[in-house]
């Protein structure tokens, strides 16, 4: 609440932080927030909230280039968003059901499901679906709903009356859909006579053919104690269901099969993945938090890359003007080898998170941004933007170079054979605009000065809400030092933070000692 934030501000000011440096400005987002986001002097916006507001911020603040008179540079405004989720837990045929039911209940109904990380979908193998549903149904029937200050309460009140009214309307649509598409309403306590803004849990089963459709309630963030259950017959179906939403925030797996856990984990699109434990409650340095797709921009809060997002490397203007270089086959090969070495080191260096008893906590850096574009606007590439190209290429991203001018295209054709399989095309303005409208475009490397960058940012952030993911725009204006290869690699990786429960019946299974890994989920502590 604003009162808590004000108390934090008071503590920071008392500790010596200048009052004109850290300012708490409470107010309605539609008034105060709107003015701040639109202000041409605001160089960065960090936001937690809904997808709709986060997208508006990205399209409003993201198209600005802001000048810093003190240090003499211009750069695109920084936008970091953490938005919604439609998070799923996968239950395999051999899952331990006591542990699974407890984990689902806590993940779905803690805080009344009003957490972006909360579970709102359960994807369960048909072999155990009916048994799991009966267990969940019985638990939901008896779960205590009431005031937060009562010790017996499990589901606390919703945040406001209008949220209860909204959710009750949503539940009507959830029930209508289940009846229409041959699903089952296992439990509906949404209209019970409960105090204040309390609302009881809703448990609905929906068949897979409907759960995969775009307009299904099972793909919509409801933000409350409403849980969809869908059966599946194979691991591939489970993965398809898990990845079928526009979000990629959290998720979980309950399974006693190491093979199932490893196979599923390789393919799940979520920033935080939990194995045999609840999927909420991320902690700094232990489970760095944040997702991708339309769940947010990254980097992860509490992770190794977050602080860097607030840092702009400075260098003399003379040095900035000297970064246009002549690139030939030898230099491409040299930089490519250096970048490949850096990539291996990069994945190892940031692998382990902070160790705690009973849990393995690590980052997987093997999922990449799949599709990108390099806009070549200058006669020859700037070294910084070219390093971004090499980083994306080296990690295996699909990328295409579009050249705006004949001279630029002629230059790139001379080096194209050394960049295979990266295609190089000459593109006029309509072709570039069409390429920027690709819904699957996840990153853009943009050459040019501040004015040119400003022009294309306005086309990238055009106010439409049809993108499938939050794009990353990379320019020489805010690029890292040319020797910091790790920061050139980071934008092209989806960091997935794993938390693997290794406790059984209250006792940790891992052995203390040096930690080793093969970069899969066979991650152990070997003594």
Q: Which residues are catalytic?
A: 82, 116
Taking a C-beta distance cutoff of 8 angstroms, is the pair 489, 395 a contact?
yes
User: Please, what is the end-to-end C-alpha distance for the chain in angstroms?
Assistant: 46
CB atoms within 10 A of CB 426: 16
Q: Is 30 helix (H, G, I), strand (E, B) or coil?
A: helix
Q: Map 82-93 to HEC letters.
A: ECCCCEEEEECC
Give 185's strand partners.
Answer: 204
Cis peptide before 421 (omega within 30 of 0): yes
How far apart CA 277 and CA 89 sit, in angstroms, is 10
Helix (H) or strand (E) holding 188: strand 184-188
Those residues whose C-beta lies under 8 Å from the C-beta of residue 189, and which sit 6 or more positions away, are 140, 141, 145, 199, 200, 201, 202
DSSP 177-216: HHHHTT-EEEEE-TTS--STT----EEEE--HHHHTSTT-
DSSP 299: P
How far apart CA 16 and CA 285 sit, in angstroms, is 26
Longest dimension (CA), the chain: 75
Q: Dihedral sign, CA of 158, 162, 165, 170?
A: negative
DSSP 94: T
């Amino acid at each position: 609440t604003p009162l808590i934030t004000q108390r934090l501000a008071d503590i920071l000011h008392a500790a010596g932080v200048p009052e004109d440096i850290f300012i708490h400005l409470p107010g309605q987002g539609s008034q105060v927030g709107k003015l701040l986001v639109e202000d041409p002097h605001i160089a960065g916006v960090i936001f937690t909230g809904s997808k709709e507001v986060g997208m508006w911020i990205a399209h409003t603040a993201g198209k600005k280039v802001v000048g810093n008179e003190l240090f003499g540079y211009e750069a695109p405004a920084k936008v970091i968003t953490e938005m919604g989720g439609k998070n799923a837990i996968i239950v395999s045929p051999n899952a331990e059901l006591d542990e699974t039911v407890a984990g689902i209940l806590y993940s779905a109904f803690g805080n009344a499901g009003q957490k972006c990380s909360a579970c709102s979908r359960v994807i369960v193998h048909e072999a155990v679906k009916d048994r799991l549903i009966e267990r969940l149904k019985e638990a939901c029937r008896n779960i205590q709903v009431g005031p937060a200050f009562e010790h017996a309460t499990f589901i606390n009140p919703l945040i406001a009356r209008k949220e209860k009214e909204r959710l009750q309307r949503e539940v009507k649509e959830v029930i209508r859909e289940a009846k229409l598409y041959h699903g089952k309403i296992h439990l509906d306590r949404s209209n019970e006579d409960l105090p204040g803004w309390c609302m009881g849990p809703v448990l609905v089963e929906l068949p897979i053919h409907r759960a995969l459709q775009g307009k299904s309630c099972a793909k919509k963030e409801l933000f409350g104690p409403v849980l969809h259950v869908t059966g599946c017959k194979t691991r591939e179906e489970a993965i398809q269901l898990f990845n079928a939403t526009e979000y990629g925030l959290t998720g979980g797996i309950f399974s006693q099969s190491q093979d199932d856990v490893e196979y599923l984990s390789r393919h799940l699109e979520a920033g935080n993945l939990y194995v045999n434990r609840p999927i909420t409650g991320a902690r700094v340095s232990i489970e760095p938090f944040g997702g991708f797709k339309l769940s947010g921009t990254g980097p992860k809060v509490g992770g190794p890359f977050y602080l860097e997002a607030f840092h702009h490397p400075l260098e003399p203007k003379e040095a900035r003007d000297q970064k246009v270089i002549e690139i030939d086959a030898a230099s491409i090969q040299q930089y490519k080898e250096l970048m490949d070495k850096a990539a291996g080191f990069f994945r190892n260096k940031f692998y382990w998170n902070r160790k705690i008893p009973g849990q393995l906590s690590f980052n997987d850096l093997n999922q990449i941004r799949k599709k990108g574009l390099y806009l070549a606007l200058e006669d020859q590439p700037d070294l910084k933007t070219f390093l971004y190209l090499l980083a994306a290429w080296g990690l295996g991203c699909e990328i295409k170079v579009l050249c705006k001018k004949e001279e630029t295209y002629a230059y790139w054709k001379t080096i194209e054979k050394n960049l295979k399989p990266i295609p190089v095309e000459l593109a006029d303005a309509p072709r570039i605009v069409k390429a920027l409208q690709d819904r699957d475009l996840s990153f853009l490397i943009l050459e040019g000065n501040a004015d040119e960058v400003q022009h294309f940012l306005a086309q990238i952030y055009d106010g439409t809400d049809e993108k499938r993911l939050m794009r990353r725009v990379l320019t020489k204006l805010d690029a890292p030092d040319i020797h910091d290869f790790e920061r050139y690699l980071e934008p092209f990786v989806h960091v997935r933070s794993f938390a693997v429960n290794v406790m059984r019946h209250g006792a940790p299974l891992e052995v203390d000692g040096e930690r080793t890994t093969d970069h899969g989920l066979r991650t152990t502590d070997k003594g």
